[in-house]
């Protein structure tokens, strides 16, 4: 039976690989490993939004329509099959919202405020894969702006 000798460099590489594998759900968007789905931002306070997932055409079409309220750190994460620039509107939406358009790599592409009931289209200047709707002003309150990184944990 062959014997393997370990060098300090090999041990460091092995430890690094274990950290990457074990830490992957925390570092990479879209992986599982959380009790409840959330989006967390690399902003000074490390704000977190607990999200409902709109991950199919029916849920995306319904969105937050007809809701009377939304919790303080709650929102809806729209997940698309491929990057694009589809616009959002506020038809039948009763509460003021802010929306963040998030690219595949987690970079916030754009943030816009939206008025209840408005049919004005809201689209970002670049492709996105995720859109996060929260109460109006949430992003400004938590110092989240364009280029702020988002980490997603989806169950």
From first to last of its 155 residues, what are the pLDDT tens digits of the chain?
343 344 444 333 333 333 333 333 333 445 558 999 999 999 888 999 999 999 999 999 999 999 999 999 999 999 999 999 999 999 999 999 999 999 999 999 999 999 999 999 999 999 999 999 999 999 999 999 999 999 999 98
Are the CB atoms for 86 and 98 separated by under 8 Å? no
The answer to whether the predicted template modeling score (pTM) of the entire model surpasses 0.75 is yes
Domain ranges of the chain: 29-153
For the chain, the distance separating the N- and C-terminal CA atoms, rounded to the nearest angstrom, is 44
* CA distances, 135 to each of 6, 52, 75, 116 (Å): 54, 14, 7, 11
Fold that domain 29-153 belongs to in CATH: Jelly Rolls (2.60.120)
């Amino acid at each position: 039976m062959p014997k393997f000798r370990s060098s300090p460099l090999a041990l460091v590489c092995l430890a690094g690989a274990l950290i990457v594998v074990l830490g992957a759900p925390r570092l990479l968007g879209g992986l599982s490993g959380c009790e409840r789905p959330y989006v967390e931002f690399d902003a000074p306070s490390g704000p977190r939004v607990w999200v409902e997932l709109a991950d199919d055409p029916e849920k995306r079409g319904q969105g937050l329509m007809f809701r009377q309220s939304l919790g303080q750190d709650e929102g809806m994460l729209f997940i698309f099959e491929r990057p694009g620039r589809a616009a959002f509107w506020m038809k039948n939406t009763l509460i003021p919202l802010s929306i963040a358009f998030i690219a595949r790599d987690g970079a916030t592409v754009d943030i816009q405020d939206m008025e209840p009931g408005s049919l004005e289209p809201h689209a970002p200047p670049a492709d996105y894969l995720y859109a996060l709707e929260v109460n109006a002003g949430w992003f400004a309150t938590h110092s989240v702006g364009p280029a702020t990184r988002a980490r997603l944990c989806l169950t």
